[in-house]
Amino acid sequence: MKTLIHILLISLSYSCWTQKPLKVGRYELDGKTFVVKKHTFGEKTIISILVGIGENFENKNYPPPQNKYASPPVKRDIHFDTTLVKEIVLKTLSKKQASFKARNAFLSVSLTFKRDGKVERTSYSLHNQPNITLEEIASIDKKIKAGSIKATFTGIEYLDYQYIHYPSFDVFF
Amino acid sequence: MKKFTSPTIFFGMLCLLLVYSCKKQIGDIFSDPSKPEGLQWAKEYYAQHLQQQNSFSVKLSGSKGTLTTTDLKNNKKTPVWTKASEGITFQYTFAEIPLRYAHKITPTLALSKNPDERPVANPEVIDASFDRLIIYKDKNGKIGQRIISYIPDEAYLKKHKGNISHNRINQMDKDFFGYVHYKDWEGKALFAIRVENGKAVKRYNLANNVKRGISNLAQSAKPSGSKVMVLPVDPPDCIYLVTWDWYQDCYYASEEATTPTYCDPVVIYNVESILISCNEPSGGGSGDGGSSDPGCPGLIMFETGECVVEEPEVTLDSLIKQFCDNLTADQKAIINTSVTALKTFNCATKYIYEKFKTENRSFKFCISAQDGNASYGFTKGFNFGSDLAAAQMNIVEHEFYHAFQQTVYPGGIEQYGRPENAPPNTLPNAGFVNTEFEQMVMNDMINGNYLAFTNGTPSQKDLYEDWVKAVTNNYSTYPKLKPEGTPTEVAEYNNFMTSYNSFLAAFNALPNNPYHSTALNMQPYAIVNLFNHINRTCP
């Protein structure tokens, strides 16, 4: 009985540890690296999560455009189903929506696409301290990269670039 | 009865002499001064290309009627330059010159089910028909020629009392019904235009006309009063456009007269036909004025007879001072559309557009291949690398911000421009990165884009994006910066500039950055100026 209680307590503490709010650092999960940073601008504090693979991925430059003076692609020329991304976020965090809403918390999602439209890289910013765990971010990230999100491009600017960044968009609860 | 005395006769003769001596001058006063001088180019063309090829023969073999012999007659054509007029359309400058023949040949046309239909002459119509030589010069300076025959319908001719010679090819009577027949100087039929209510409603290609044997015809024509020129047509048989050429000798009162005083009766001289359609009703040109075709709204091309419509004149935006000479009308229209769209693209472009307009600023616009999609220079104006670039509003917006920088930076921004474009006696990379980075920050804050660290690292990209969102309150406001304001405002400005300069330094250090420069940390004059004047909603 005593042993059983010990096992239960250990399990409970482990599960509490894994559910704890994000802290600045570098984490490995599902074969991906999650780099958590804190940015402070005046009174605003933002938690940023960069998701990538490999060592020091966050400090490697995106390749330059073919034409050195090329203008980068703009938001209006990048098209994909943002509603689907929002649905993924809201469904994953459905149990926490009420508390997020109460503190005006929101999650910004930033996507980088390859020229073929597939999602290459993601990053997330947490505003107004939503209590989101690494597992939840990892779950959202997995669903976004599952293949249902694909972009198309218009204009001429994207033709010069290997990777096309879509500016972050916000998901409110 | 009073007798005329010698002094009276003398006085009368003196008056006559005076009038006669003044005749030339009076004539000069009332002549059209635009005619002879303006047609010099046409006269030169005629002299060089047409005058020497002027001995075409009229073969009367096989014809019957007044002239019954097989004959081959020289048919010299003579333009009457004193009666020539000049016209200008959006495609051509042209001379229209009355043409006299040694032997007048008049085509008449009709739609018929039988290409060997017996020709029926209408002497009034044939006598009133006339030829003019058109020598035209297109927009590229290419000169060509056509002989056109005006052939009226009987009703229209009667309405104008047998004289339609006042018509010009670009100024036809609004009630003109008939045909205009085009041939070249050698006499080869090219095409015919059916004209109704003064407008071309149908073009018939005559280039593949089939010559008919005159002997096949039932009888040659006899002048027959008021016969109808257009024969009735009943579906569903095949329809032919038949051209009958009529020959007659005409006599003129003077060398310069264009209307004969008398013509011999006509003789059928040549018959040609071309199949228009089979098993369907007439394709137009009925000659009864009942066609519902609205007609050519533009101009019939002298070369082909095709209808071309003038592109509407584009009202140029007041910010466009001039275009490069090599731009096409389409390219000018693209630029004009983009510049005008700046008025509504966003609050920043609207503000800048109106500022330029108020200050009477205008620019030169070009399209030519270059490094990058576009560029702006104070002296050279705007250049777009392609038509597509000129149509991309974000590219136009980008360069427009540089034009704005030019107006707010002390001494302008050309001194900080591309190293290869740096003016003499300036550092080749004096501060290029400052103006380009500022432009990107403006664009990102205004449009929610992410341009500045496109080539940066994921960390730089995220940090920069979070900063832009923070200083714009998630794109709901613009930072109002007052470097010369109260201590609080100055502190806010310094706070902004600390981050701004940090990002500027990071941007400048991006690998292979073409905007890299040695001079950094210049004040972002355009951001300060622009964001203090605009809000998220436009006035």
- A158 close to B (CB below 8 A): no
Give the pLDDT mean for B29-49.
Answer: 66
Contact A52 B458 (CB under 8 A): yes
Q: What is the CA radius of gyration of chain B?
A: 37
Distance CA A93, CA A72 (A): 33
Task: Return the higher-pLDDT residue of B20 and B275.
Answer: B275
Angstroms from B444 CA to nearest CA on chain A: 9
Pairing of strands B262-263, B250-251: antiparallel
C-alpha triplet B58, B59, B65: angle, nearest 5°? 105
Pairing of strands B363-367, B381-384: parallel
| Residues forming a β-bridge with A27 | A34
Whether residue A75 lies inside any domain: the answer is yes
CA–chain centroid gap for B267, Å, is 43
User: Which H or E run contains B530?
Assistant: helix B525-531
Pairing of strands B77-79, B92-101: antiparallel
Contact B447 A156 (CB under 8 A): no
Whether residue A165 lies inside any domain: the answer is yes
Pairing of strands B381-384, B374-377: antiparallel
Distance CA B474, CA B478 (A): 10
- A74: chain B residues, CB-CB within 8 Å: 394, 443, 447, 449, 451
Q: Quick check: B526 pLDDT over 90?
A: yes
| Token couple for A161 | 């670039």
Give the pLDDT mean for B59-80.
Answer: 60
What is the SS3 assignment for B180-221?
A: EEEECCCCCEEEEEEEECCEEEEEEECCCCEEECHHHCCCCC
Contact A123 B461 (CB under 8 A): yes
Task: Return the higher-pLDDT residue of B287 and B180.
Answer: B180
- B500: chain A residues, CB-CB within 8 Å: none
- A108: chain B residues, CB-CB within 8 Å: 469
Distance CA B235, CA B257 (A): 45
What separation in angstroms does the CA of B23 have from each of B19, B28, B29, B38?
A: 6, 9, 10, 24
Distance CA B300, CA B156 (A): 21
Beta strands in B265-395 (DSSP E): 267-277, 299-300, 307-308, 320-323, 363-367, 374-377, 381-384
| Token couple for A110 | 């930033």
Considering chain A, what percentage of its residues have pLDDT values greater than 70?
88
Considering chain B, what percentage of its residues have pLDDT values greater than 90?
42
Give the pLDDT mean for A46-62.
Answer: 93
**Per-residue pLDDT, B431:** 84
User: Which H or E run contains B122?
Assistant: none
- A58: chain B residues, CB-CB within 8 Å: 457-459
Whether residue A7 lies inside any domain: the answer is no
- A39 close to B (CB below 8 A): yes
**Per-residue pLDDT, B225:** 41
Whether the upstream peptide bond of residue B236 has omega within 30° of 0, thus cis, is: yes
Give the residue ranges of DSSP H helices in B392-486. 393-408, 432-447, 458-471
**Per-residue pLDDT, B310:** 73
Q: Picking from B30-39, B96-105, B151-160, B327-336, which range would have the lowest pLDDT averaged per residue?
A: B30-39
Whether residue A1 lies inside any domain: the answer is no
Distance CA B449, CA B475 (A): 10
Residue B491's CB is within 10 A of a number of other CB atoms, namely 11
Over the stretch A115-126, which tens digit does the pLDDT of each residue have? 999 999 999 999
Predicted confidence band of residue A2 (pLDDT cuts 50, 70, 90): low
Q: Quick check: A3 pLDDT over 90?
A: no
Angstroms from A11 CA to nearest CA on chain B: 35
**Through-space distance between the first and last CA atoms of chain A, rounded to whole angstroms:** 44
Q: Quick check: B147 pLDDT over 50?
A: yes
Give the pLDDT mean for B80-109.
Answer: 87
Question: At residue B12, what is the residue type?
Answer: G
Over the stretch B342-396, which tens digit does the pLDDT of each residue have? 999 999 999 999 999 999 999 999 999 888 889 998 888 999 999 989 999 999 9
Contact A50 B459 (CB under 8 A): yes
Q: Quick check: B45 pLDDT over 60?
A: yes
Q: Pick A167's closest partner by Cβ from B374, B465, B470.
A: B465
Give the pLDDT mean for B209-225.
Answer: 56
Q: Which DSSP letter does residue B50 get? A: I
Predicted confidence band of residue B140 (pLDDT cuts 50, 70, 90): confident
Range of the domain at A80: 22-172
Contact B454 A161 (CB under 8 A): yes
- A154 close to B (CB below 8 A): no
- Answer yes or no: are the C-beta atoms of B217 and B119 closer than 8 Å: yes
Nearest to B381 by CA among B338, B342, B323: B323
CB hemisphere CA count around B506 (13 angstroms)? 20
Mutation site, A62, A78, A109, A154, interface B, largest B CB count within 10 A: A62
Give the pLDDT mean for A33-57.
Answer: 92
Q: Quick check: B228 pLDDT over 90?
A: no
Whether residue A15 lies inside any domain: the answer is no
- A104: chain B residues, CB-CB within 8 Å: none
Give the pLDDT mean for B208-230.
Answer: 54
Count of CB pairs separated by less than 8 Å, A with B: 127
Angstroms from B433 CA to nearest CA on chain A: 12
**Per-residue pLDDT, B1:** 42
- Answer yes or no: are the C-beta atoms of B108 and B128 closer than 8 Å: no
Over the stretch A90-130, which tens digit does the pLDDT of each residue have? 999 999 989 899 989 999 999 999 999 999 999 999 998 88
Q: Quick check: A46 pLDDT over 60?
A: yes
| Residues forming a β-bridge with B381 | B377
The residue in chain A having the minimum alpha-carbon distance to the alpha carbon of residue B463 is A39
| Residues forming a β-bridge with B367 | B384
Whether residue A9 lies inside any domain: the answer is no
| Most confident among A8-17, A80-89, B112-121, B166-175 (mean pLDDT) | A80-89
Q: Which DSSP letter does residue B229 get? A: S
- Answer yes or no: are the C-beta atoms of A82 and A170 closer than 8 Å: no
Q: Quick check: B3 pLDDT over 60?
A: no
Angstroms from A16 CA to nearest CA on chain B: 29
Distance CA B44, CA B46 (A): 5
Over the stretch B387-400, which tens digit does the pLDDT of each residue have? 989 999 999 999 99
- A14 close to B (CB below 8 A): no
SS3 content of chain B, % helix, strand, coil (to 5): 30, 25, 45
What mean pLDDT is reported for chain B? 81
Contact A61 B455 (CB under 8 A): yes
Give the total number of structural domains in chain A.
1
- A141 close to B (CB below 8 A): no
Question: Residues of B at the A interface (Cβ-Cβ below 8 Å)?
Answer: 371-375, 386, 388-389, 392, 394-395, 398, 443-444, 447-451, 454-459, 461-463, 465-467, 469-471, 474, 495, 499, 510-512, 514
- A101 close to B (CB below 8 A): no
Contact A48 B463 (CB under 8 A): yes
Over the stretch B251-295, which tens digit does the pLDDT of each residue have? 888 877 888 888 888 888 788 888 887 764 444 433 333 344 567
Whether residue A14 lies inside any domain: the answer is no
Over the stretch B414-458, which tens digit does the pLDDT of each residue have? 888 766 666 666 555 678 899 999 999 999 999 998 899 999 999
**Per-residue pLDDT, B358:** 96
Whether residue A11 lies inside any domain: the answer is no
Whether pTM > 0.80 for this model: the answer is no
